[in-house]
C-alpha cells in the first residue's frame, strides 16, 4: 500500500552517502518530498568526502536554496565507518528506521583486479546490515539496497557480488517479519563518477578522439534523479523481497559519443572491451520474466523464494529479457536524455546549442 510521506519523522541511514547516488538521494530527502525526516545520517569511510559534503551544505545560503539549507542544519549528520566493519554497522543502525544501502565497490575493472575486496564490501556489507538487525533485534522498518543491471546474468566480479548482495538482503525477509527489505536495480547513471559521459565531455572539450570500447556496445542510461525516483518508488509501493527496475532508454555508446560532439566531427577510437565488461546490459533476465509485474513506470521482480513471494497469482509483464540491445535511441532524443542529467552535462550541451 502506497504511503504518501513514508520518511516523515523517520531516522534515516544512507550508507555510501558521499557517492554520486548517495549525495543526490540526501539532497532529494532534504527537499521534503517524501516527508521531512527527524534525522539523516551519512555513513561512509571517506572522511575527506564527508568534510566537503558537510561544507557544501554549510556554505549554502537561504537565497540559493532555502529549503535544503534550513533542513540540512536541522537534520543532517555524518558518521565515519565502513560497511565491512560489523561493529560500525551495528552502531550506525542502533537508532534507525530506514536504511538506504548505497555503499559499494562499483568499478568493473577494479573489482576484476581485486575480487575479494568486492566480496568484502558488496556482499559482507549487506550481510553486516542484516546480521545487526536480526541479532540485535533492531527496530529497523525498511531497507532499500542499491543494486545494478550488472547483477542480472553477471559475468564480472562487480555483477556477481551485487547479485549475491541482492540475495543476502532479499532472503532476510524470511526471518525479519518486522522489516521490509527490497532492492532497486538500474543502469548507467549519466553523470556519476566513473560514467563514460563525463569522460566524453572532457575529450570533446580538449578536441581529443573519443574512446569507445566496441562499436556495438549498448547501455541503459538514466539521470541521478531518475535513479532516486526508482528508490522512492520502491519505498512507496514495494513489498518485502521485491526488486524495482525503472523503464528507461538505452543507447549505443557510439551514438552517445556522437551526441556529445556538438558537430565537431571528432574521431572515435575503438579501444577494445575491458576486463569483465559486457557488450549489452540486462535489467530483467528471461528467467526472471515470469515473476516480474508492472508498477507504473517500473517493473517489480518478485522474490525468487516462494516463502517470501507468497501465492498470489500474477500476470507477467515481460515475455523476454529486458536488455539494452533493444529499442536504442539516438539523435535529438538521446541529446535530450543526456541534458536531463543536469549539472555539468546540461551546461555543456546548452553552451553548444
- Catalytic machinery residues: 150
Cβ neighbours around 144 below 10 Å, total: 24
CA atoms within 13 A on the CB side of 259: 24
3-state helix, strand, coil in the chain (%, to 5): 40, 20, 40
Cβ neighbour number for residue 67 with a 10 Å cutoff: 12
**How far apart are the C-alpha atoms of 31 and 57, rounded to whole Å?**
13
Q: Which helix (H) or strand (E) covers residue 334, if one does? A: helix 331-339
Beta-carbon neighbour count of residue 207 at 10 Å?
8
Closest CA to 322 of 241, 243, 223: 243
d(CA 290, CA 302): 9
> Which element (helix H / strand E) includes 295?
strand 292-295
First vs last Cα of the chain: how many Å apart?
45
In this structure, how many other beta carbons lie within 10 angstroms of the beta carbon of residue 209? 12
CA angle 131/145/277 to nearest 5° reads: 115
Q: 246 has which bridge partners?
A: 298
Report how far residue 37's alpha carbon sits from residue 72's, in angstroms, rounded to the nearest whole number.
11
Report d(CA 57, CA 68) in Å as an integer: 8
Amino acid at each position: 500500500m502506497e504511503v504518501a510521506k513514508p520518511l516523515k519523522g523517520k531516522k534515516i541511514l544512507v550508507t555510501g552517502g558521499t557517492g554520486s547516488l548517495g549525495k543526490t538521494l540526501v539532497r532529494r530527502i532534504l527537499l521534503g518530498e517524501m516527508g521531512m525526516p527527524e534525522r539523516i545520517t551519512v555513513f561512509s569511510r571517506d572522511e575527506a568526502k564527508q568534510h566537503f559534503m558537510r561544507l557544501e551544505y554549510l556554505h549554502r545560503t537561504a537565497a540559493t536554496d532555502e529549503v535544503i539549507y534550513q533542513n540540512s542544519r536541522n537534520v543532517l549528520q555524518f558518521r565515519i565507518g565502513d560497511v565491512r566493519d560489523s561493529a560500525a554497522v551495528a552502531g550506525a543502525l542502533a537508532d534507525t528506521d530506514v536504511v538506504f544501502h548505497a555503499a559499494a565497490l562499483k568499478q568493473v575493472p577494479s573489482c576484476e583486479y581485486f575480487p575479494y575486496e568486492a566480496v568484502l564490501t558488496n556482499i559482507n556489507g549487506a550481510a553486516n546490515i542484516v546480521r545487526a538487525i536480526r541479532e540485535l533485534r533492531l527496530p529497523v522498518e525498511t531497507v532499500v539496497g542499491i543494486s545494478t543491471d550488472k547483477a542480472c546474468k553477471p559475468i564480472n566480479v562487480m555483477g556477481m557480488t551485487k547479485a549475491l548482495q541482492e540475495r543476502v538482503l532479499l532472503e532476510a525477509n524470511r526471518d525479519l517479519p518486522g522489516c521490509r527489505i527490497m532492492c532497486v536495480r538500474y543502469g548507467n547513471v549519466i553523470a556519476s563518477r566513473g560514467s563514460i559521459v563525463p569522460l566524453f565531455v572532457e575529450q570533446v572539450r580538449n578536441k581529443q578522439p573519443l574512446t569507445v570500447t566496441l562499436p556495438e556496445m549498448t547501455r541503459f542510461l538514466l539521470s541521478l534523479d531518475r535513479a532516486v525516483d526508482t528508490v522512492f518508488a520502491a519505498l512507496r509501493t514495494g513489498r518485502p523481497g521485491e526488486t524495482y527496475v525503472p523503464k528507461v532508454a538505452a543507447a549505443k555508446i557510439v551514438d552517445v559519443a556522437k551526441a556529445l560532439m556538438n558537430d565537431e566531427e571528432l574521431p572515435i577510437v575503438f579501444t577494445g572491451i575491458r576486463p569483465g565488461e559486457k557488450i549489452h546490459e540486462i535489467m530483467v533476465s528471461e528467467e526472471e520474466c515470469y515473476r516480474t509485474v508492472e508498477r507504473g513506470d517500473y517493473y517489480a521482480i518478485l522474490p525468487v523464494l516462494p516463502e517470501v513471494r507468497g501465492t498470489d497469482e500474477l500476470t507477467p509483464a515481460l515475455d523476454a529479457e529486458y536488455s539494452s540491445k533493444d529499442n536504442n535511441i539516438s539523435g535529438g532524443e538521446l541529446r535530450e536524455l543526456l541534458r536531463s542529467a543536469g549539472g555539468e552535462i546540461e551546461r555543456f550541451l546548452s553552451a553548444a546549442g
